[in-house]
Amino acid sequence: MRLTALFVLLTALAAVPSAQSAPPPAPAAPVPGPAAFLQVFKERRSVRNFRPDAVPREHLLQILDIARTAPTSGNQQPWKFLVIQDRSRLDALAAATVEAYAALYQESKKPTEPELAAFRDKYRQVCARYLSAPVFIVVLTDSKSKYPDYNKWDGPMAAGYLMVAARALGYGTVFCTDSFPFDVVKRVFDIPDRYEVVCTTPLGVPVEWPAAPPKKALEDFVAWERLAE
């Protein structure tokens, strides 16, 4: 067993009450209004076009406060949330992203000058839609955390909590992994090397809520006792 895995296991075992411990408390009561609470998850959407309405700082803090409570390996809590609202910095991200993807396009497709110009224009429009939100959040994990091998699991948990909390307050988000290349994000926002990008997300009031995408039936995902081939 790897050393870090052993440490996490020991941490978990330390939390298990001994035989002489007092009996556990009664189960907690259900969250008030559980149906409404569960509906928030069903109504979360990936939003890519936003109104310019400001997001109150109080709401941002509420959302981030929920994100930090996500499950984490050995309670290491390795995350950082970089919140960008400065429009000049978002414009710089858009410009750098367009140039990064234009360079890749030029290298792989060998386009003509008009084709390259059209590509740049198209991706500028893509960036403009994402960055129409007044807030842009970079979800990061710290490679100097207690159990850095587990960051790859802990980070997405915090991102998921953030996105559901945002939806509960009426805001849209979208889990971005390649819309803005991570190396570009780190360079433009001067993020130290020790931090790894989990995802980025704009956050704001949607121009409209996207329709629910088709989802597979529950029975397609659930197996009882054993999996078929």
Alpha carbon distance 225, 1 (integer Å): 27
Alpha carbon distance 130, 203 (integer Å): 9
Q: Pick the residue with more confidence: 28 or 181?
A: 181
pTM: 0.88
Q: Residues 6 or more apart from 42 whose CB is under 8 A from it? A: 212
For the stretch 164-212, pLDDT in tens is 999 999 999 999 999 999 999 999 999 999 999 999 999 999 999 999 9
The H or E element that residue 6 is part of is helix 3-14
Phi-psi region of 110 (alpha: psi -120 to 50; beta: other; left: phi over 0): left
Residue 4 has pLDDT above 70, yes or no: no
Mean pLDDT over 50-73 rounds to: 97
For the stretch 214-223, pLDDT in tens is 999 999 999 9
Alpha carbon distance 79, 140 (integer Å): 5
CATH number of 45-86+132-208: 3.40.109.10
Mean pLDDT over 2-15 rounds to: 52
